[in-house]
């Protein structure tokens, strides 16, 4: 058990069976497997047999076989044994016990071997070893007593030729890159130009092996670092999942609090109406008690008159009674006609409303990292025949895995929309009241568009076709526009006020934020931390401020990196900021705190005066250039 653990700890296990190697063989890709495991695996791979090769189970690299017409069993049996792995196993005490005597075995006997011939690599008992030494061809073979090695196969000490078993390896053919004996040299390597002795080759071999160990150490360190990094990412994902669950619970609690508040309002209203109604009824009951007492007094007096037979008293009372009959007549008080308190509800409507409520959206986002490289995958031509246009901004909406690319055209005053319907690429237009500028994504299927010419904001709905849903009036001519949350927008004007406004969805200004040197914010973006990033082409800086107007950073590089005409802005899933510097033909990446990371795209990537930029949910990068949109993925 201890030996097996030692071998396992030293990675001497087959990845197929997950056990310690048995008859290890190594493929051309240097991956090692048990011979029997590799045979079973190869038999199950029909594509490997058709290609006349053995596919590596780990990396899929193919190892050519010497005799493709032979059975698969022969392919595997002809593979070179892994002497390096076997030697490691021998060093760690993991090799199997010495076999029975090879001579006795031929006679059907199982006599244990006591001696090991290094040259023949076979075990002999004492009797058979005597015969072994009498044979002229084998009398000089090196023999070791296995009993002194703990009944294990000793490592071979002699370097014997693989072809001529009785000859020691003394030479190395550089042309064929293989070790040979003198017989091999005289027979098969006579035409080779570069043959050295083993002793002469040893310094070069050792140097090469040292270099190889250094390479392996670097690879081991790289794999170790990758594993450690992946482990950290797994922990981070688990932590992030818990944080998201907590956020979902907070949203649920907030929603529940709204329902509880509305419940309390209804209960309080019921209590208030009930109190009013009860007071009215109590007042009516008191008046009825007074009337009842008066009627009792009248009844007693009248009844006593009847018994007294006093004609004068009876006529006096009779004269005070009007002519109408009072029998069983009690005037109904209008207060008895007060309405009842009832609770009117529409359970079906309520359930529909509750069912339509979403606590949020959970999705897996693939974003570009700081090490990935951009690759152009698509170019969207936004013009028709003989048509001129100027793209200002681009946004991508998604409906049921269908992407709609919205492009604002300041020349024709409309939105051009590119999407695929029923596997057919489609293009349409949404006519607007005025020329559109920046587009703000408001949820997955809705967008808001700034219309500075008419002081409006238009709302576009994608489902399944893009349509103009509504427009709202604004007090300022807004050019830049971004979404703060599901009910608020951030807009920047073109009136040199050095501020952006937070608006509700009706266009009402809720708050203004100072943007210092940015007087006319042309492009606005809101980061994941709700910081506002703004740019203005004529101001050679990028500014980020909090919702309270505190500066997060002002990016104003000097020298070769100085900005010329900054425009569109977006952020990655990790929080990094991407923005366009139009006149320098660049897309630049910064950290959240405004530190330079790299130039993501340059003129070498086909950029010429880019204007706007956005990332979709799959991490594809969209960059507008004049009349087209270039789409990049990252590898």
CA 91/CA 517 separation, integer angstroms = 73
Residue 143 near residue 114 (C-beta atoms within 8 A) = no
d(CA 215, CA 30): 14
Nearest to 435 by CA among 465, 477, 464: 477
Q: Tell me, what's the pLDDT at 531? A: 93
The answer to whether residues 35 and 82 belong to one domain is yes
Task: Say whether 598 sits in a helix, a strand or coil.
Answer: strand
Nearest-5° Cα angle at 231, 227 to 234: 140
Please check whether residue 41 lies inside any domain of the structure: yes
Task: Note the pLDDT of residue 602.
Answer: 93
Residue pair 526/488 in contact by the 8 Å Cβ criterion: no
* Residue-by-residue DSSP string for 214-229: HHHHHHHHHHHHHHHH
**pLDDT tens digits along 5-40:** 555 554 578 888 888 887 888 888 888 888 888 888
* Residues 244 and 336 grouped into a single domain: yes
- pLDDT reading at 74 higher than 70: yes
pLDDT averaged over the chain?
A: 83
How do residues 563-574 score in pLDDT, each as one tens digit? 999 999 999 888
Residue 183 scores a pLDDT above 70: yes
Q: Would residue 126 count as lying in a domain?
A: no
Domain closes at, from 356, 391, 420: 356
Looking at the fold, whether 494 and 615 belong to one and the same domain comes out as yes
Q: Looking at the structure, do residues 247 and 379 belong to the same domain, yes or no?
A: no
Partners of 393 in beta bridges = 408
Share of residues in the chain with pLDDT > 70 (%): 87
pLDDT tens profile 273-306 = 889 888 888 888 898 899 899 888 888 888 888 8
- pLDDT tens digits for range 331-347: 555 555 556 777 777 77
User: CB neighbours of 48 closer than 8 A, spacing ≥ 6?
Assistant: 42, 54, 55, 62
pLDDT of residue 2: 41
Q: Is the pLDDT of residue 491 over 90?
A: yes
Greatest mean pLDDT among 81-90, 328-337, 613-622 lies in 613-622
Domain closes at, from 96, 114, 136: 96
pLDDT greater than 80 at residue 523: yes
Pairing of strands 456-462, 466-473: antiparallel
Query: Of 61, 96, 131, which residue sits at a domain end?
Result: 96
pLDDT in tens, 355-396: 777 777 675 545 567 778 888 988 888 876 545 667 889 999
Q: Are residues 630 and 510 in the same domain?
A: yes
CA dist 469 and 460 (Å) reads 5
Min mean pLDDT across 72-81, 511-520, 602-611 is at 72-81
| Domain around 385 | 374-634
CATH number at residue 79: 3.30.40.10
CA pair distance 437, 492, nearest whole angstrom: 11
Domain for residue 69, yes or no?
yes
Number of domains in the chain: 3
249: DSSP letter: H
Based on the fold, state whether residues 331 and 426 are members of the same structural domain. no
* pLDDT band, very low/low/confident/very high, at 95 (cuts 50, 70, 90): very low
Strand partners, 25: 33, 81
What pLDDT is stored for residue 347 in this prediction? 78
Three-class SS state of 8: helix
Question: Pick from 465, 484, 485, 482: which is nearest to 400 by CA?
Answer: 465
Residue 440 corresponds to which tokens in the numbers above? 């703000």
Is 109 part of a structural domain of the chain?
Answer: no
pLDDT band at 516 (very low <50, low <70, confident <90, very high): confident
* Residue 151, pLDDT score: 53
- Residue 136 belongs to some domain of the structure: no
The whole-angstrom separation of Cα 339 and Cα 349 is 26
Residues 614 and 488 in one domain: yes
Same domain, 341 and 394: no
Domain shared by 416 and 339, yes or no: no
Residue 110: inside a domain: no
94: pLDDT confidence band, cut at 50, 70 and 90?
Answer: very low
Mind listing the pLDDT tens digit for each residue in 388-419?
667 889 999 887 767 889 998 877 778 888 88
For the cut 50, the answer to whether the pLDDT of residue 621 exceeds it is yes
The answer to whether position 586 is within a domain reads yes
DSSP letter (8 states) at residue 160: B
50-64, 119-133, 173-187, 526-540, range with the lowest pLDDT: 50-64
Average pLDDT over residues 497-518: 91
Residue 197 is assigned to a structural domain of this protein: no
Per-residue pLDDT band at 610 (split at 50, 70, 90): very high
């Amino acid at each position: 058990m201890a030996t097996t653990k030692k071998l396992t700890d030293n990675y001497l296990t087959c990845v197929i069976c997950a056990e310690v190697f048995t008859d290890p063989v190594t493929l051309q890709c240097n991956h090692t497997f048990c011979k029997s495991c590799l045979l079973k695996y190869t038999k199950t791979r029909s594509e490997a047999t058709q290609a006349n090769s053995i596919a590596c189970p780990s990396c899929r690299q193919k190892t050519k076989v010497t005799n493709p017409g032979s059975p698969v069993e022969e392919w595997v049996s002809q593979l070179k044994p892994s002497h390096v792995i076997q030697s490691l196993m021998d060093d760690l005490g993991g090799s199997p016990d010495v076999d029975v005597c090879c001579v006795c075995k031929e006679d059907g006997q199982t006599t244990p071997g006591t001696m090991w011939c290094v040259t023949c690599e076979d075990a002999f008992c004492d009797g058979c070893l005597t015969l072994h030494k009498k044979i002229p061809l084998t009398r000089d073979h090196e023999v070791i007593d296995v009993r002194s090695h703990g009944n294990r196969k000793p490592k071979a000490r002699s370097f014997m030729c693989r072809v001529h078993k009785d000859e020691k390896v003394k030479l190395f053919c550089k042309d064929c890159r293989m070790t040979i004996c003198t017989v091999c040299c005289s027979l098969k390597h006579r035409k080779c130009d570069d043959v050295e002795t083993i002793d002469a080759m040893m310094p070069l071999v050792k140097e090469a092996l040292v270099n190889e160990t250094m390479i392996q150490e670097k690879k081991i360190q790289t794999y170790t670092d990758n594993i450690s990094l992946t482990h950290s990412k797994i922990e981070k994902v688990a932590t992030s999942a818990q944080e998201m669950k907590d956020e979902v619970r907070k949203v649920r609690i907030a929603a529940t609090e709204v329902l509880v508040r509305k419940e309390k309002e209804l209960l309080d209203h019921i209590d208030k109406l009930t109190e009013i109604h009860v007071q009215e009824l109590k007042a009516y009951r008191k008046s009825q008690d007074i009337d009842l007492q008066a009627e009792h007094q009248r009844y007693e007096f009248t009844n006593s008159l009847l018994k007294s037979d006093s004609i004068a008293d009876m006529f006096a009372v009779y004269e005070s009674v009007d002519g109408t009959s009072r029998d069983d007549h009690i005037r109904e008080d209008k207060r008895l006609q007060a309405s009842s308190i009832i609770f009117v509800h529409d359970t079906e409507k309520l359930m529909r409303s509750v069912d339509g409520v979403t606590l949020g959206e959970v999705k897996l986002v693939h974003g570009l990292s700081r090490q990935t490289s951009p690759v152009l995958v698509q170019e969207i031509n936004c013009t028709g025949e003989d048509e001129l246009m100027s793209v200002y901004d681009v946004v991508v909406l998604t409906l049921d895995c269908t992407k709609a690319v919205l492009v604002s055209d300041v020349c024709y005053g409309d939105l051009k929309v590119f999407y695929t319907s029923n596997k057919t690429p489609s293009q349409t237009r949404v006519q607007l009241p005025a020329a559109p500028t920046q587009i703000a994504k408001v949820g997955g299927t809705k967008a808001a568009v700034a219309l500075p010419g008419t002081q409006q904001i238009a709302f576009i709905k994608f489902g399944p076709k893009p349509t103009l849903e509504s427009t709202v009036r604004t007090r300022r001519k807004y050019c830049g526009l971004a979404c703060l949350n599901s009910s608020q927008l951030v807009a920047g004007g073109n009136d040199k006020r050095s501020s952006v406004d937070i608006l509700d969805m009706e266009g009402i200004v809720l708050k203004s934020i100072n943007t210092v040197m940015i007087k006319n914010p042309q492009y606005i973006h809101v980061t994941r931390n709700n910081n506002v990033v703004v740019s203005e082409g004529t101001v050679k800086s990028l500014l980020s401020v909090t919702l309270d107007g505190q500066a997060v950073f002002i990016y104003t590089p000097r020298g070769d990196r100085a900005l010329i005409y900054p425009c569109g802005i977006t952020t990655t899933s990790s929080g990094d900021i991407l923005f366009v510097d139009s006149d320098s033909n660049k897309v630049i990446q910064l950290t959240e705190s405004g530190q330079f990371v790299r130039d993501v795209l340059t003129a070498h990537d086909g950029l010429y005066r880019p204007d706007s930029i956005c990332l979709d949910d799959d991490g594809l990068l969209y960059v507008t250039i004049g009349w087209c949109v270039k789409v990049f993925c990252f590898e």
